[in-house]
Each structure stands twice: as C-alpha cells, then as structure tokens.
Amino acid sequence: MLIKTNFKAAWWLKNPHLQTIYPALIRQPPLLAIRRERLITPDQDFIDIDWYGEKHQPLVILLHGLAGSSRSGYINGLQRSLSNHGFRSVALNFRGCSGEYNHTARCYHSGETEDIHFLYQTLRQREPSTKIAAIGFSLGGNILLKWLGEKGQQLSLFAAVAVSVPFVLNACATKLDQGFSKIYCRHLLGELKEYIRAKHRYLLDINQHEEASKLALLGDLADINSFWQYDDRVVAKLHGFKDSLDYYQRSSSRQFLKTITVPTLLIQATDDPFMTQAVIPELEELSSCVKLEQTANGGHVGFIMGNNPFKPNYWLDQRIPEYLDLFTKRINQ
C-alpha cells in the first residue's frame, strides 16, 4: 500500500547529497542519560545495547546503518523524540560498532539477523508482556526487513519502520561505484578496511590467534575500491557466502517483504544517492501489513525540513513516533 507523505525538503537542502551529508557532518547527537548493557551471545562473543527511557513504557529496538553506532545522530535524536512520546528505546550496536572490538573475526553484514533475533528473544524472556516495536536505518533497515520476513508470525511486535533501505544489494553496490556516489563509497570502504586491520592487531594482542588468522587470510585490502570487491573478499569469506553476488542475492530484503506479518512502514526517498529508484519494491511485492511512504526528496537517512538553516527540522524524529502512536493508542483503547 502506498501512503501519502507530508515531507517537504528544506529549501536550502533540496539536493539529495546535501540532505545526506548535512546531518552526517553537522548534526550533534543530544546528550542523553544512556545506560549501556553487554549481552553475551550464543557464540560467546558480545553485543552492546544502549537503553534510554522509563521502565514499563512500550519498547522500541533501534538498528543503525553501515559504519554507524548507537551514538549516531539519527539514533540518539530518535531516542529523545521517542521518549517524549512515551516510548523507551534500546539501540543495538552491531558487532564492532560500540567502540570496542569483538573477540572473534565475525563482523556484521546486511543479511546478519542472528544478533537482532537474539536480542529480541532476550527482551521477550525478560518482559513477556511488553509492547515492542523495531526501527532500522539503511543497512539496519535491510536487516530488520529480512528478519521480519524470515520469522513471520513467530514475532510479537506491534509495529516496525525501515528507513532508506538498500532493498537490492547488488544494485546499490553498483550505484555507489558511479558519479558523485563514489565519494560515499570511498569514505565507507576506508573505514571498513581500517577496522579490519585494527581488529586483526587487537585479536593478536588478546591472544586470539585463531580468530586473527581468519582476518590475515583476507590478505592486503589496500587495493579494494568497490563494495563488490570488499564484499567478495571480506564479507563472503568471513560469513560463508560463495562470493559477493551470493551474499547480495541471499541478503537483499526485497524478497522477504511478502512474508512480513508485522505492521511495517517503509520510508524511502526517490532521490537516495545510495541506490536507484528501480530498487524500490512494487506495491504487489508488499504483504498486506506493509505500507510504503515514498518521498521525492530526502536523500539517504536525511529527510530534513524547515525554513531556517540554523534550526533544521529532522522529520523522521516526528514521523516515526507518530506512526508508532497509532498502534499504542489502538492497543490502549
């Protein structure tokens, strides 16, 4: 189902690249009294989660994007807004994103749903009657949708929202090799390659030589200059895919949309520089529980409104709680 949007890009940020870059460089995360918790995973590694809000409120799980973390501006900004609407939140740091290296070679990727399911099961065991929703941005949105489609009716969530999702990973990887988008590719790949190098040194320092050897076998990553290459030599080898194409085909979320049973809102900008309009699903690919809110502008996880350049209006901080409010009001009636 396609729904009408009220988003109108700020006149001073009409360009999709400005919508994308401005919040990444300019937005300062609000200072929140976050409570961090570490969960030991079934494979004896760990994930760090950051809590915000009051006990006994409905709970929202937040999933960040590639090279982001629970400290990203769009995560913390949403946490504050959710709290103002009566929701508490818990932001998952994907492995290696919390500011501390994990103890295994394993990292995260666009199709890795084990950790979100482990977190969900942990929360459900602790609070079986709590109303829970989930929000994902970019890579986190792809993970969220894939998980929702995989698990179907096994999940007890009242709602979900996925923003700026790379629904077809191979098409998005190709788009990042073209034109101005190469700048994003170069920046992200630089961070990812440095992370692998630094993690290898860390694993050696803590005497995890077997895990360190898995990273050493990846070889010198200096000559990698595209996501096709990185995902072929790093993601595929570390996570059991045949190659990058196998990874893209198995992990792209578009194929899972038809089996989603949780009420889900997709927020997608047509001008997103990380992808082409062709990756956005057709309405017949959506289950009856999924709604698409498509905007003409907004860039990638941008969606900035407002007439005053000194007081930007981060529309997602309003739209997402507004969507969740619809369900909590129904539940409480």
Query: What's the rounded Cα separation, in Å, for the pair 166 and 136?
Result: 11
Q: What is the CA radius of gyration of the chain?
A: 19
CA angle 139, 141, 142 (to 5 degrees): 65
Is 83 annotated as catalytic? no
Query: What residues have CB less than 8 Å from 296, skipping those under 6 apart?
Result: 9, 269, 270, 271
Query: What residues have CB less than 8 Å from 291, skipping those under 6 apart?
Result: 1, 2, 3, 263, 264, 265, 266
Is 300 annotated as catalytic? yes
φ, ψ (nearest 5 deg) of residue 235: -60, -50
Which residue among the candidates 115, 231, 272, 317 is catalytic per the annotation? 272
Q: Which residues pair with 94 in a beta bridge?
A: none
By the 8 A CB rule, do 94 and 108 touch?
yes
| Helical (H) or strand (E) element with 198 | helix 182-205
Query: What's the rounded Cα separation, in Å, for the pair 8 and 304?
Result: 8
Chain centroid to Cα 327, Å, comes to 22
Which residue among the candidates 109, 253, 300, 317 is catalytic per the annotation? 300
Is 177 annotated as catalytic? no
Identity at 27, one-letter amino acid code:
R
Query: What residues have CB less than 8 Å from 318, skipping those under 6 apart?
Result: 81
- According to DSSP, the β-strands at 290-295 and 304-305 are unpaired
DSSP-assigned states of every residue in 94-147: PTT-SSS--SSS----TT--HHHHHHHHHHHHH-TT--EEEEEETHHHHHHHHH
Which residue among the candidates 138, 164, 244, 253 is catalytic per the annotation? 138
Which residues are catalytically annotated?
138, 272, 300
